[in-house]
């Protein structure tokens, strides 16, 4: 069971640590999503792995109510799926697009992904009045319109400042 004060690991390390294709794919994800470390990618992969595992077991058991619950769960997270086969095809990028950091940047509330991360960590972002300080928070589809940034977003080029 483990020690109650020590949390269990929320991701799995790759089986082949020096796989060039995986390393290149992770580097591309790190730069495009403004992540700090590969651990964040591995957490997202772990979440997807759990959804896929549940989908495979539900395909074998053919339980319609549990299938609907899983599809609805992904729909609330903002991932559009119609059937269990679609769940198996969900990519890491689709889940990374639902992170708070990505949503803030895509809505134009930040100048870059790293700027969005900084706004979140400094406590300038609220969702329905609740301050969040986790860039990896998965934004539900119902919370999309409730995101607010308290800090003014100014572009250094517009204000004439030098960097």
Cα–Cα distance between 122 and 96 in angstroms, integer?
21
- Predicted local confidence at residue 107, as pLDDT: 93
Long-range CB pairs of 31-40, under 8 A, 24+ apart, other chains included: 32/113, 33/96, 33/99, 33/101, 33/102, 33/113, 34/101, 34/105, 34/112, 34/113, 34/114, 34/116, 34/117, 36/117, 39/11, 40/136
Cα–Cα distance between 13 and 117 in angstroms, integer?
24
Q: Are residues 26 and 65 in the same domain?
A: yes
Q: Are residues 76 and 137 in the same domain?
A: no
Domain range for 30: 20-96
- Predicted local confidence at residue 157, as pLDDT: 47
Cα–Cα distance between 39 and 3 in angstroms, integer?
22
Count of domains for the chain: 2
Q: Are residues 31 and 91 in the same domain?
A: yes
Q: Are residues 90 and 138 in the same domain?
A: no
Structural domain includes residue 3:
no
Q: Are residues 35 and 53 in the same domain?
A: yes
Structural domain includes residue 5:
no
Q: Are residues 118 and 91 in the same domain?
A: no
Final residue of a domain: which of 46, 74, 96?
96
Structural domain includes residue 12:
no
Q: Are residues 92 and 108 in the same domain?
A: no
DSSP annotation string for 61-113: HT-HHHHHHHHHHHHHTT---SSHHHHHT--HHHHHTTBHHHHHHHTTSSSSH
Q: Are residues 70 and 54 in the same domain?
A: yes
Cα–Cα distance between 95 and 75 in angstroms, integer?
12
Final residue of a domain: which of 96, 111, 128?
96
- Predicted local confidence at residue 155, as pLDDT: 62
- Predicted local confidence at residue 54, as pLDDT: 94
**What percent of the chain clears pLDDT 70, i.e. is strictly above it?**
92
- Predicted local confidence at residue 153, as pLDDT: 61
Count CB-CB contacts under 10 A for residue 8. Answer: 7
- Predicted local confidence at residue 5, as pLDDT: 87
Q: Are residues 55 and 27 in the same domain?
A: yes
What are the φ/ψ torsions at residue 137 (nearest 5 degrees)?
-60, 130
Q: Are residues 121 and 155 in the same domain?
A: yes
Q: Are residues 113 and 78 in the same domain?
A: no
Q: Per-residue confidence of the chain (163 residues) as pLDDT tens digits?
A: 678 888 888 888 999 999 999 999 999 999 999 999 999 999 999 999 999 999 999 999 888 899 999 999 999 999 989 988 999 999 999 999 999 999 999 999 999 999 999 999 999 999 999 999 999 999 999 999 999 998 766 664 454 455 4
């Amino acid at each position: 069971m483990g020690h109650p004060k020590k949390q269990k690991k929320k991701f799995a390390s790759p089986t082949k640590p020096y796989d060039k294709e995986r390393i290149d794919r992770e580097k591309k994800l790190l730069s495009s999503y403004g992540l700090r470390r590969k651990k964040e990618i591995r957490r997202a992969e772990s979440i997807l792995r759990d959804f896929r595992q549940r989908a495979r077991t539900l395909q074998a058991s053919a339980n319609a109510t549990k299938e609907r619950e899983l599809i609805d769960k992904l729909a609330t997270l903002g991932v559009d799926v119609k059937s269990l086969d679609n769940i198996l095809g969900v990519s890491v990028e689709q889940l990374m697009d639902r992170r708070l950091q990505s949503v803030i940047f895509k809505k134009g509330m930040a100048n870059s992904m790293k700027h969005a991360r900084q706004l979140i960590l400094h406590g300038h972002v609220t969702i329905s009045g609740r301050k969040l300080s986790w860039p990896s928070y998965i934004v539900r589809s119902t919370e999309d319109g409730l995101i607010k940034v308290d800090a003014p977003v100014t572009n250094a080029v517009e204000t004439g400042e030098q960097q």
